Amino acid sequence: MGQRLVIHMLNDSGKEVANAYYHWSAYTSSAIYELKGIADALQLIQDGNIEKWIVTESICKYYHTDINDLNDVELATVLLYATGAGIRNIKESIGVLLDNEEKRLRIPIISAIDRNEGLIDLTEEGIKDSNDWSEGDAYVHLRSGLVDFNVYAAISEWYEEWYVEQEIETLDDSIDLYRFELKDIDKISNIIEKLPMKDSTGTIIDTIA
């Protein structure tokens, strides 16, 4: 059982360097909520307001690390921490996190609370295992801040007839609910509250609730 969400963290080459599994978050609003945590953390980092974020603060104080110097795996892990997720397989993950220029831990190790709060995987085996269980996916492009998001309801042919009878608004052509920037997460969240709506092709988009 569950409604299983996986957030995939991708580097510039499109490789998945980390992911997090959330057992009950593959509902549209829940998935957006998790992304909001990542968006807020990334904005604080980009603005240089690292002292406002406790995880990043601990990095600076205890690991003597500049957040902007983190590699892709480290940055992905820190951003996933902001959702409340923690690392699932500590022993295996430490090996991955030690693979940096200084060959030392540059971010704190935060253990997972449970599968509802989020399980972070950094190893290839762990990443694949989470992906195999996924029922809804959000792909975060680490360095660009783009998100590919598909946690929407699949409208069956039978159900579509019901939608046709409703007065459904059409999305503005400038809005893409399937690909957006993390900095626009609040705007996307507000639009999602108004679903169902049609996109420019006439396809009906609705939430999983």
The secondary structure of 108-159 as a DSSP string is ---B---TTT-EEE-SHHHHHHHHHH-SEEEEEETTT-EEEE--B----HHH
Question: Any long-range contacts for 157-164 (C-beta under 8 Å, 24+ apart)?
Answer: 160/204, 163/196, 163/204, 163/206
Q: How far apart are the first and last CA of the chain?
A: 15
- pLDDT at site 151: 97
CA distance 25 to 11: 23
Question: 184 φ, ψ to 5°?
Answer: -100, 15
pLDDT tens digit at each of 209 positions of the chain: 789 999 999 999 999 999 999 999 999 999 999 999 999 888 877 776 544 444 555 554 545 556 667 899 999 998 999 899 999 999 999 999 999 888 888 888 899 999 999 999 999 999 999 999 999 999 999 999 999 999 999 776 656 677 777 788 899 999 999 999 999 999 999 999 999 998 888 888 999 99
| Whole-Å CA distances, 142 to 36, 75, 116, 126, 139 | 14, 8, 23, 19, 9
Task: Report pTM.
Answer: 0.91
- pLDDT at site 2: 84
Element (H, E) at 60: helix 54-63
- pLDDT at site 53: 47
